[in-house]
Structure 1
Amino acid sequence: MGGFAEVEREARGDLVRAIGARGTWEGEPRWREAFAEVPRHLFVPYYYVGVMGGHERWWGEHPDPRHRERWLRGAYEDVPLATRLRDGELVSSSSQPSLMASMLLALGVRDGDDVLEIGAGTGYNAALLAHRLGEEHVTTVDLDPEITESARRHLEAAGYHPAVVTGDGARGVPERAPFDRIIATCELPSVPRAWLTQCAPGARILIPLATGLVLLHVTGAGRAEGRFLDTPAYFVPLRGDTPPEPPLPRLEGLPRRVRGDDRFRFLLTLTAGGIDPHEAYAVWEREGRPPRERFGITVEGERAWSWLDDPGGPYAWPLP
């Protein structure tokens, strides 16, 4: 980083201001401080940028200083960064910082809360949580030992030491429970029941599901319920002992204008396997093309279902 300290300060400040321009930091100065203080570049010593025919690796030890500066400025762009590829397929990334900020604010942490993060990624999100709450209150878990080892190294380089656990995130981390908050940074097809048993009373769970983000409130033993946020969200799927997501159904016969509509695709993903796409389209039109925040999820024991407007209403579909 020799000679680039000023570039780094400028780029990090620009990122914080760009996120703040959306009103994100209003009433939440401590999260603004976390993003201003935690150095993202330490968590992405290299990343991949899509180019014609594949990916190009940008890294902080490139012999050409122009390339190093390009890497450094790119580390503070408000974009997701691909950090690990396997056979050309993305298996780990650093999420878009503004989306991370929105998720952390929606989680509603309080001083003293114990948080479990599902999907360690680069370790950057765990560092933000550790800065806000204290490292002793943060646990992050990932199935891949290479990911947890690199996350641990990045965290140590930045001066943070939360608990980094190698294991199946769908099973939680029972030895560190109970948790006041659980946040997943990978997409899931449903809500793992093991998480509910590891939650303290009044806990919240925020997970990416069906290209959206659902915020669940734990309301009793084995029960949680909540609505989707209005934010679209696309994450790498959770790997491990979880059922695969069913493929999207074929859309022949539906109007062309809806096939690529983001909100309709969300409904199809949410109800995949539980409703015919033509029936989904009829519901979507009849109900005024509902946005994500009109949908929700309820988990009760072994049952879990998604719903529109009312968990006990006429529109409900089973989840895995």
Structure 2
Amino acid sequence: MTVLDGDPGRELRMSLARSLLDSGDLSAEWRSAVEMVPRHVLVPFFYRQDGTGKWCQISSEDPGFFAAVYSDTALTTQVTDGIPTSSSSQPSLMLHMLDALDVQDGNRVLEIATGAGYNAALLSERLGSDRVYTVEVDRELVRDARDRLVNCGYNPVVVTGDGRKGLTEGAPYDRLIATCGFTSVPPAWIQQVRPGGIIVCPLGRGNARLVVGHDERAEGRFLPGGSYFMGVRSEGGNGRIPYPGDPAEVTMRQTHVDYLDVEDDGMWFALSLVLPEIAWAHETGADGARTGCRLWACDGSWARVQDREVRQAGPRPLWNAVERAYGWWNSRGRPERERFGVTATESSTRWWLDSPGTPVPDMES
């Protein structure tokens, strides 16, 4: 890409690149791409909540727009019925994932979740547009991203579709990177990435790096650091688990696990693997102090914890699974993300600790 004279983001991109280099979040391989890709063209506006919780659109005419776009910050780029449904991810997080992807000249890459198109632009700058394919479920986002990428001088293949199905058009791929959250590895990805190819994907609250083998399986470990992506969604959906409401019939008991202990970052990650597709919310008192939590699932299961009292209902006793997970995690020395790994086949995704021979047990049985 050629940066145009008078480009208002040029110096800010250079500054962002220097800052990310100094912090260790940017490698020399990706420096040129960060300096060249005009994020403000791909993100011409974003949304920010005001003091009342209302979402306000911020555009290039607003003070602070360019500083925000060229900061190491995730930006909400789509809000649907008051719920964020797309964002431009934090640059440092994306660059760590791109480093883990280990792209080589000539590689063909599939990206799952185009969003604003910034990651597709970085890949196109590094590899050339003809080597980049990207899939997005939202037709409006696809239209906007395609147009804005062209305005930046890039022309990757941008397709509307369900990222869980991958994209057969450019298969087999050398690399696959996902920028929305998953609870398991879709079988189509293993079929569409060549043996020896690499998949980098958010799973639960971590990012995993998997190598596809000749035995139709993909295996690898989680990367250090958290994963903060919106969950995969279907067309027209918002990716959220609807709250089932307070049930009339509940069981009540005491718990030995403090809900604050569950929110340790390492435990939070482990819980996201063994109890997937669960929503969690804090509860606070009138003074703003934390008083408890509640969690719920798509099947209507529901649990609420205040102090040491548990109330739960539905087909699954959710807090029972939380207690088992906490006991297992605590007994294993409170392991961090990078001690965990994943083995995925076309029929299953399995978690393990330290080595594939030590599987993480089922916490719901």
TM, length-normalised to structure 2: 0.78
Instruction: State the partner residue of 1:114.
Output: 108
**Secondary structure of 1:276's partner?**
helix
Aligned to 1:181: 175
Q: Deviation per CA, 1:35-94, whole angstroms, max 9, x where unpaired?
A: 01111111111101121121221112x3xxxx2x52112110110000000001111100
Which residue is equivalent to 1:308? 353
Q: Secondary structure at the match of 1:220?
A: coil
Task: Give the alignment of 1:155-234 within 5 angstroms.
Answer: 155-234=149-228
- Render the CA deviation track for 1:92-111: whole Å, top value 9, x for unaligned: 10000111111101110011
Match of 2:302 in 1: none
Contact 2:42 2:149 survives alignment (8 Å): yes
Farther-moved stretch of structure 1 (267-276 vs 101-110) = 267-276
Report the Cα distance in structure 1 between the residues aligned to 2:274 and 2:82, rounded to whole angstroms: 29
The separation in 2 between residues aligned to 1:303 and 1:124, in whole angstroms, is 32
Task: For 2:260 and 2:346, locate their aligned partners in 1 and report how far apart those are by CA, in whole Å.
Answer: 39
The answer for the alignment partner of 1:8 in structure 2 is 9
Secondary structure (helix, strand or coil) at the match of 1:299 reads strand
**Contact 2:269–2:337 (CA under 8 A) maintained in structure 1:** yes
Residues 211-238 of structure 1: CA distance to partner in whole angstroms, max 9, x if unpaired? 1100111012420111100110110111
Q: 1:75 aligns with which of 63, 69, 73?
A: 69
Return the letter of the residue paired with 2:101: L
| AA at the equivalent of 1:35 | V
Instruction: Describe how 1:236-255 pairs up with structure 2 within 5 A.
Output: 236-240=230-234, 252-255=255-258
8 Å Cα contact 2:190-2:346 kept in structure 1: no
Q: What is aligned with 1:290?
A: 335
Q: Which residue is equivalent to 2:25? A: 24
2:326 aligned residue: 281
**Residue 45 (1) aligns with residue 82 (2):** no
**What TM-score results when the alignment is normalised by the length of structure 1?**
0.89
Partners of 2:256 and 2:81 lie apart in 1 by: 35
The structure carrying a bigger helix percent of its residues is: 1
Deviation at 1:7, TM superposition (A): 5.4
Structure 2 CA distance, aligned partners of 1:121 and 1:235? 11
Q: Give the structure 1 partner of residue 79 of structure 2.
A: 85
Could you tell me which amino acid in structure 1 is paired with residue 45 of structure 2? Y
Identify the residue that residue 34 of structure 1 maps to in structure 2: 33
Quote the offset at 1:259 in angstroms: 2.6
Contact 1:189–1:245 at 8 Å: present in 2 too? no
> Cα distance 1:246–1:83, how it changes in 2: closer, same or farther (>3 A)?
closer
Query: What is the distance in 1 between the residues matched to 2:43 and 2:241?
Result: 32
Equivalence for 1:235: 229
Q: Is the contact made by 1:179 and 1:203 (CA closer than 8 Å) also made in structure 2?
A: yes
Q: Is the 8 A contact 1:193 1:222 kept in 2?
A: no
Q: Which residue of 1 aligns with 2:270?
A: 267
What's the offset of the Cα at 1:246? 8.5
Cross-structure match for 1:148: 142
**Aligned pair in 2 of structure 1 residues 292, 157: CA closer, same or farther (>3 Å)?**
same
CA distance in 1, matches of 2:126, 2:229: 24
Alignment-mate amino acid for residue 107 of structure 2: D
Aligned residue identity for 1:11: L
Q: Which amino acid aligns with 1:21?
A: D
Change (3 A) 1:259 1:237: same
**Aligned pair count?**
306
SS at match of 2:23: coil
Please name the residue that 1:136 is paired with: 130
- The percent identity for this pair of structures is 42
Note if contact 1:7-1:73 (Cα within 8 Å) is conserved in structure 2.
no
2:96 corresponds, among 91, 102, 107, to 102
Checking the alignment, whether the CA contact within 8 Å between 2:202 and 2:229 is kept in structure 1 is yes
Distance 1:306 1:84 in 2: 33
Residue ranges of structure 2 left out of the alignment (5+ in a row)? 243-251, 277-317
Q: Supply the distance in 2 between the matched residues of 1:259 and 1:56 (Cα, whole angstroms).
A: 33
Question: Alpha carbon RMSD of aligned pairs, Å?
Answer: 2.6
Secondary structure in 1 matching 2:58: strand
Gaps of 5+ in 1: none
